[in-house]
């Protein structure tokens, strides 16, 4: 397309209008494949549509986990385009870049050709960290989680090494295009074997917390939060698909862990309690390591790492104080901690100029008790050998885990639940002012 001013939709020929729709789907696909929830995908696509002179009343969109559908109709013409999203991951730097792009093109009246080039650059941009740094971040995040669960620093070190081996196995499995659930199974097996073998080789006893925490980096905390967020925002189909994908990943991981435990001959690790029992200083250090490590794994921009680490410390301290000092259930403690992060992020995002997702989700990922869902599936795999009491206990773990996940999601969603409409109205006023000024300039 030529580098010229963007015309109103009514003045576009069919080729130009279809090209605009392609750009919108490029933005939506980039967001969906980088870990955005459906609400963000729709919001950024609509913002770009305003710049492309496509009125909101003429555009309809439908978003699922694997498909984006866009329809534009002006009463005389109607065009529909689909886009498949088969590759899903988490890349927070891309989410930030796309969000800034949609505002920048609107404020700067960017030509249509420059928009396409910008989207292409974002999709092809290098990661913020080298591959070895991402692997180390995943390992350190798992080691920090081990300490948060109640393990010792020695167990955290073993969990870190085992997680590093598991992460390498996961990358190799992906390199050879294995099924993603098979990748989860291989990762769980490798990490658990190393968590058992290293202490055994050193003549130490079984380090239970290392066995529990060594696979935390693969626990789908981000998809879990997005699944619940989509359901709360009435994107039910996408939310249920994300939830099913989450359960399949946990299922594959559980099978790999169970197979490793069977070979190693250790007992049922689902009996290990994950209640924090350490000093607040150690918990603060562990929280910073977990939040910072997972932020690196999610490709959070470097300038935000310190902020995320501090948020992780505050989040864990709030949760632990409520649990240990006031005897509150873990779900309530997690809800209050997540709500604090969600509300505080409303102020911080205007200082660092970044989407709230980057400041909200990494600090609360250590709160996601996917290990409790793992315990439920572990019991199901052994249903022929466990007692009724053990099965009921496993069901309790599962219900508790789902409750905590919902508490975390509702907590971080408080700004969206109560003041999102006001925020959107403020943004719409700014958009209207930009469009009005642009028309006046003509």
pLDDT at 435: 73
Domain chopping of the chain, boundaries: 9-126, 131-421
> What is the per-residue pLDDT for 2?
45
Q: Given a cut of 60, is residue 439 above it in pLDDT? A: yes
* Edge-first strand listing for the sheet containing 67-73: 59-63, 67-73, 78-84
Q: What pLDDT digit, counting tens, does each position of 168-201 carry?
A: 999 999 998 899 999 999 999 999 999 999 999 9
Range from 16-25, 192-201, 239-248, 417-426 carrying the lowest mean pLDDT: 417-426
pLDDT, one tens digit per residue, over 206-223 is: 888 888 889 889 888 788
The Cα–Cα gap between 431 and 381 comes to: 54
Is the pLDDT reported for residue 299 higher than 90?
Answer: yes
What residues are paired with 59 via a beta bridge?
72
Q: Which structure tokens are listed for 342? A: 């969600």
Tell me if 167 sits within 8 A of 150, measured CB to CB.
no
At 70 the three-state DSSP class reads strand
pLDDT at 421: 64
Report how far Cα 2 is from the mean position of its chain's Cα atoms: 38
């Amino acid at each position: 397309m030529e580098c010229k001013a963007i015309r109103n939709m009514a003045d576009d020929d069919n080729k130009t209008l279809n090209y605009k729709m392609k750009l919108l789907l490029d933005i939506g696909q980039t967001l969906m494949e980088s870990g955005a929830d459906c609400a963000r995908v729709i919001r950024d696509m609509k913002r770009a549509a305003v710049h492309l002179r496509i009125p909101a009343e003429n555009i309809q969109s439908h978003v699922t986990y694997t498909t984006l559908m866009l329809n534009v109709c002006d009463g005389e013409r109607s065009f529909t385009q689909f886009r498949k999203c088969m590759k899903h991951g988490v890349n927070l730097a891309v989410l930030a870049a796309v969000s800034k792009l949609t505002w920048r093109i609107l404020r700067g009246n960017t030509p249509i050709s420059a928009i396409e080039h910008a989207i292409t650059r974002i999709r092809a941009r290098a990661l913020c960290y080298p591959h070895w740094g991402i692997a180390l971040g995943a390992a350190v995040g798992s080691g920090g989680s081990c300490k948060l669960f109640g393990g010792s620093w020695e167990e955290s070190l073993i969990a870190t090494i085992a997680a590093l081996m598991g992460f390498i196995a996961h990358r190799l499995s992906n390199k050879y295009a294995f099924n993603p659930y098979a990748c989860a199974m291989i990762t769980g097996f490798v990490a658990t074997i190393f968590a058992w073998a290293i202490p055994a080789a050193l003549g130490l006893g079984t380090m239970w917390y290392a066995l529990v925490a060594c696979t935390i980096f693969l626990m789908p905390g981000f998809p879990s939060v997005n699944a619940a967020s989509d359901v709360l925002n009435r994107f039910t189909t996408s939310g249920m698909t994300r939830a099913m994908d989450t359960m399949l990943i946990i299922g594959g991981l559980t099978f790999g862990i169970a197979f490793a435990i069977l070979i190693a001959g250790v007992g049922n690790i689902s009996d290990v309690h994950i209640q924090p029992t350490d000093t607040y200083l150690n918990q603060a250090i562990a929280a910073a390591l977990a939040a910072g490590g997972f932020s690196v794994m999610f490709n959070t921009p470097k300038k935000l790492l310190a902020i995320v680490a501090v948020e992780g410390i505050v989040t864990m301290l709030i949760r632990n104080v409520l649990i240990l000092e006031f005897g509150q259930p873990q779900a309530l403690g997690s809800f209050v901690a997540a709500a604090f992060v969600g509300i505080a992020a409303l102020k911080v995002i205007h200082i660092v100029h970044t989407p709230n997702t980057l400041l909200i989700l990494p600090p609360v990922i250590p709160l996601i008790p996917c290990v409790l869902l793992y315990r439920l599936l572990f019991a199901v795999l052994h249903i022929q050998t466990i007692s009724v009491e053990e099965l009921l206990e496993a069901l309790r773990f599962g219900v508790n885990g789902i409750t905590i996940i919902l508490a975390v999601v509702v907590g971080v969603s408080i700004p969206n639940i109560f003041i999102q409409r006001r925020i959107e109205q403020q943004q719409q006023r700014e958009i209207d002012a930009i469009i009005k000024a642009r028309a006046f300039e003509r």
